[in-house]
Structures are given as C-alpha cells and as structure tokens.
A and B are shown apart, each in its own frame.
Chain A
C-alpha cells in the first residue's frame, strides 16, 4: 500500500507529524507526554502506525483540553481524508 494518495499527493498521517502538530499548539515539551498519555490510556502500542489507531488517539486527545481537542479534531479529519481517498477503510 502506498502511503501517498496519487493525484491528491496526500501523505498518510503519521505519529511524528501528529506530535509535531500538537507541539505547535501546546509546546514541544508538552506534546510528547500528552500524546503518550493518550496512547497509553487506550493501550495503543507506539509508534502508532495505522490511521485507525491515530484516529483513536485523536479522539482521546480531544478529552485533554482546548488546544489538544483542536489538534485531535484536525488529526481526525486528516486521517479520515486519507482513508476515504486511499480506500484503506474498506481494506
């Protein structure tokens, strides 16, 4: 499976990208522990690889304050976009 949707030139969201985006809002030092907390609370193994698991962590992030909620909501949109365009949701 390619990790870039052809035509749309849209790359599969990654944990590293998600943590970086979260860090842009809450600070790099806070982002990693927040992300880790969200993943651990779901017993999701790191690194988080699949868009399904990224979505689950995004939902968990949305419980952790205003800025984390916004980062989580954005990540969710980006993951579902990838799934919708790549067809991976049906695979």
Chain B
C-alpha cells in the first residue's frame, strides 16, 4: 500500500463519518442489496459489491454473490482490495485484465481466485469523505472503458444518496 492510501485509511474524520452513516455495522441493507443485484444483472457480472473502507479491512455491505468463504468473512484485508487505489485519487477506474496490470497482477485474488477484471467508483459522503465503493468483478476479461467508469460513478452517487437518507432517518428516529 502507498503511504497516501495508508494515511487516508486511518483518517479519523473519515472513519467518524463512516460511523455517522452506520456503515461499520453488519445490519442488512435492503437498498444496497437491491442496488448490487440490479447492477450485476444489468452488467452481466458475477459479482457486484457495495463496500465500506475501514482502517485495515474492507467490509462488504452488500454483494450480489461471493464465494462461500468470502461470504463467511464478510469482507477482506484492505491490502487485497482493488478499491484501495481510489483512496488516493477519489476517482473511479476500471481494469479489463488484472493479470496485465502490474498494480494487481500479484494480488492473491487474481493469482489464486481467478478474478480477472474490475471496475469501481467511490462512495463519497456528503461531508466529502470516501467511505466506501461500488464495484464489479468478473472472472473473464471485460471490455471496460471510460463510459463504464462514468456509468458506475453515477450509480455510486445514487447509492450514496440512499445511504445518507437512511442515516438521516435513523438519526431523526433517535431524536438526534
């Protein structure tokens, strides 16, 4: 991981914002589940995820599908995530063939689990923090391009609006 990624992961204002949104919990989030299922179906990818970037791990807040052992874990060590590259750039990106990208070719998910392509966009809170990501994975090479990233970014913005709305309703319900 780069120093910038590490610093961003540990930023306490980012993590407190994430907690404000209730994203560190393991509650079922039907709205996120629906969003990733729709995304997986429309893009015909096996895996679509809404994730939360904690300090040393990435949580899967919703997943269209995951291998059983990953489902059991509910996340993964942050050093394995493709999404962490967005911590520095705050921009979505896509990789059509991860085996040909020096940043990711050595990743165990690529070497051992057969993940071959990736596209992701950041979930940026209303307070300006990257709290998570919306991403898709495939075990086949995909023809991802700038339009893919733009479409995913729009979806991510919509998902973030839903997360903020849900948190606002929880806070109002709690009288906060």
Residues of A near any B CB (own CB < 8 A) = 7-10, 21, 24-25, 66-67, 69-71, 73-75, 77-78, 80-81, 84-85
Contact = CB atoms under 8 A, between A and B. Distances in A.
Chain A contact surface mostly: helix
8 smallest beta-carbon distances between A and B, as pairs: A77-B57, A66-B19, A74-B57, A77-B75, A74-B56, A84-B69, A74-B54, A8-B108
A73 B73 contact: no
A69 B78 CA distance: 17
B108 to A, nearest CB: 5
Contacts of B55: 21, 24-25, 70-71, 74
B73 A70 contact: no
B26 to A, nearest CB: 8
Nearest to A80: B73
B100 to A, nearest CB: 21
26 contacts: A7-B108, A8-B112, A9-B108, A10-B108, A24-B55, A25-B15, A25-B55, A66-B16, A70-B54, A70-B55, A73-B54, A73-B59, A74-B56, A75-B56, A75-B57, A77-B54, A77-B58, A77-B73, A77-B74, A77-B75, A77-B76, A77-B77, A78-B56, A78-B57, A80-B73, A81-B76
Given A9-B108, A71-B56, A74-B56, 6 more contacts: A10-B77, A24-B10, A67-B15, A73-B24, A73-B57, A77-B73
Interface of B: 10, 12, 15-16, 18-19, 24, 54-59, 69, 72-78, 108, 111-112
B123 to A, nearest CB: 16
A85 B69 contact: yes
Contacts of A85: 69
Contacts of A84: 69, 72-73
A42 to B, nearest CB: 20
Nearest to A84: B69
Among A7, A9, A78, A85, which residue has the most Cβ atoms of chain B within 10 A? A78
A70 B24 contact: yes
A75 B75 CA distance: 11
Contacts of B76: 77, 81
Contact of A80 (B18, B19, B24, B74): B74
Contacts of B58: 77
Given A24-B10, A74-B57, A77-B73, A69 B19 contact: yes
